[in-house]
Amino acid sequence: MASRTGDEGPFRLGLVVALTTGFLFLMVAWGLYVLPRPVNEHLALLFLLLNAVGVAIQTASMLGLVAAMLTGDGDNHMGAYPAGQLEGLAYLFIGVYKTGFVTAQLFFGTWLFPLGYLVYRSGFLPRVLGVLLLLDGIAVLIWFLQAFLLPDVPAIRYPGLAVSFVAEVGLALWLLIKGGTVSAQANRLAGVST
């Protein structure tokens, strides 16, 4: 499809950026795993695994975008099919990607519950961030359910976007500003709990 419109270069660049973003998100989750692990190692591992599954699903769903791109590639024997069929296939593959992206939100929503709980219980991160992360998890799960059960009702998800933004940006800013102090407090807690 991208080959037929002449936009294959930017499309491929977008895929590389999306895949790199998935990798970086997994690395952020690993960093977050290390920080509250002294609070509860099992819950920290749970949120890391939930994040990893979400990243894996989202990454695998990008194969739908690759398949959509290949429908317009004259080098892969797709020229035997009429343009209308190729366009239909391309839209089908894009739909597969969108469904995979939404499916990944189940795991991206649920990873926020153990993370929010650990932030709340840590003693070295603001409890309000833990509460916001728990609300963020609820908001993402509402978006997930709405996308599958009520796809024509977009109004449900918009209030959750504000909660998600405040929770996730708030945690990132807190760690950016107070990171060294938080790390030292986490290390002290790890020394006490061992």
- Name the more confident of 188 and 109: 109
User: Which token pair is 40?
Assistant: 């509860």
Please give the Cα distance from 38 to 194 (Å, whole number): 9
For residue 153, the model assigns a pLDDT of: 79
Candidate ranges 10-14, 79-83, 116-120; pick with highest mean pLDDT: 116-120
Average pLDDT over residues 148-153: 86
What's the Cα-to-Cα distance from 41 to each of 32, 79, 118, rounded to whole Å?
12, 54, 10
Average pLDDT over residues 158-176: 88
Please give the Cα distance from 190 to 39 (Å, whole number): 8
For residue 182, the model assigns a pLDDT of: 61
Average pLDDT over residues 13-23: 94
Please give the Cα distance from 162 to 164 (Å, whole number): 5
Weakest mean pLDDT among 32-46, 60-74, 98-112: 60-74
Weakest mean pLDDT among 24-33, 107-116, 138-147, 184-193: 184-193
Q: pLDDT tens digit string along 50-104?
A: 999 999 999 999 999 999 888 876 666 777 788 888 889 999 999 999 999 999 9
Q: Is 55 helix (H, G, I), strand (E, B) or coil?
A: helix
For residue 172, the model assigns a pLDDT of: 92
In this prediction the pTM is 0.83
Query: What residue segments make up the domains of the chain, in order of their start?
Result: 2-193
Instruction: Please say if the pLDDT value at position 149 is more than 80.
Output: yes
For residue 83, the model assigns a pLDDT of: 85
H-type helices in 37-157, by residue range?
41-61, 63-70, 83-110, 112-122, 127-149
Instruction: Please say if the pLDDT value at position 189 is more than 80.
Output: no
For residue 123, the model assigns a pLDDT of: 87
Mean pLDDT value across the chain: 87
